[in-house]
Amino acid sequence: MKDLPYAEPYKTKMVEYMRPSTIEERKQWIKEADYNLFNLSSDKVFIDLLTDSGTGAMSDKQWAEMMVGDESYAGSQSYLKLRDTVRRITGFQYFLPTHQGRAAENVLFSVLVNDGDIVPGNSHFDTTKGHIEFRKASVVDCTIDEAFNTTVFHPFKGNVNIEKLENSLKLNAGKVPFVIVTITCNSAGGQPVSMENIRAVSEVCKRRHIPLLIDAARFAENAYFIKMREDGYGDKSIKEIVKEFFSYTDGMTMSAKKDGLVNMGGFIALNNEEVYKKASVFSIMFEGFKTYGGLNGRDMGALAVGLDEATEFDYLHSRIGQVAYLGELLV
């Protein structure tokens, strides 16, 4: 018998009733939806495994923030709380909230991406690729070959192939506004990227004076895999690991609906003041004033708490352990 996964490190204070259905009902509903599950209404789905993006429950401390949110248009205390949390966890000094991850891409890429540019990375997420191509630029996938071979084990299948990256930068000299690394690599099976690989990509970028950005939707999960799989990190906390890999980069975009543990939200974080100021203009155009960026104050407060809770080992160990347990049973 396989070992049971680590127990959930929380108590359940609220439940949501779901009506069980019969197989006959489900067959009829699927037929009426033209066999497209996206056409089903949520009340007809008893177990929903579509995505973790914004679909989970929030903690009691997050709900407490919902009650004390500062909804001021400018200078919101909830904004300041979130800004300071992002600075403490990531080390980046400049911060712009957005309503979700693709909005962060839209704002930042409006500054950085131009017609004819080339953006290398590891299996860009679909919205990342879409925002780049919308601006008449192109992406180059530099993911390692092992990522696409399901018959072999590799602890970090999200890694960037350094040789592919260097060749791409050499071939497209003068056309690369930045390199982007997605952690974990969602479009390649949600696979993690090692600290060694992030460091190596950073060194390549620094030699060529090219910024390195992180698509950080699942940054905490990636830190967990580094802790569990990479030599030298077993005794480090999740927050220490997070702080280290962000230190090798120049900025990040974030869909907070994943490792922010909220139902809606995102942000941009940077160390470049000039880029931040330019992005602020697009934030005002597309999202809202730079101290709310399309988010309610209560949502920013909940996100500030969520970022701290998502970077706790016990939470990650329980959630990822459950997924591993199910996967092993299916194998």
Predicted confidence (pLDDT) per residue in 100-121, tens digit: 999 999 999 999 999 999 999 9
**Residue 63, phi then psi, degrees to nearest 5:** -65, -35
Please list, in sequence order, all residues whose beta carbon lies within 8 angstroms of the beta carbon of residue 221, skipping any fewer than 6 positions away: 184, 190, 192, 258, 259, 316, 320
CATH number of the domain enclosing 185:
3.40.640.10
Please list, in sequence order, all residues whose beta carbon lies within 8 angstroms of the beta carbon of residue 134, skipping any fewer than 6 positions away: none
Confidence label for 190 from pLDDT (cuts 50, 70 and 90):
confident
pLDDT exceeds 80 at position 272: yes
Do the domain assignments include residue 39? Answer: no
Do the domain assignments include residue 2? Answer: no
Q: Cβ–Cβ contacts within 10 Å for residue 81, how many?
A: 20
**Residue 79, phi then psi, degrees to nearest 5:** -60, -45
The domain of 274 spans: 60-330
State the pLDDT at residue 2: 62
Helices and strands (H, E) in the chain, number of each type: 12, 7
DSSP SS3 for 113: coil
- Distance, in Å, from the CA atom of 261 to the CA atom of 255, rounded to the nearest integer, reads 10
Percentage of residues of the chain with pLDDT beyond 70: 99
Handedness of CA 194, 196, 199, 201 (dihedral sign): negative
What the block records as the tokens of 26 is 């489900």
Do the domain assignments include residue 23? Answer: no
CB of 224 within 8 A of CB of 6? no
Residue pLDDT, tens place only, 130-167: 999 999 999 999 999 999 998 899 999 999 999 999 99
Do the domain assignments include residue 209? Answer: yes
Least confident piece of the model among 184-188, 224-228, 253-257: 184-188
- Strand 94-98 to 138-141 pairing: unpaired
pLDDT exceeds 80 at position 290: yes
Do the domain assignments include residue 238? Answer: yes
Do the domain assignments include residue 55? Answer: no
Q: What is the mean pLDDT of the chain?
A: 94
Do the domain assignments include residue 10? Answer: no
Do the domain assignments include residue 77? Answer: yes
Number of domains in the chain: 1
Average pLDDT over residues 1-8: 71
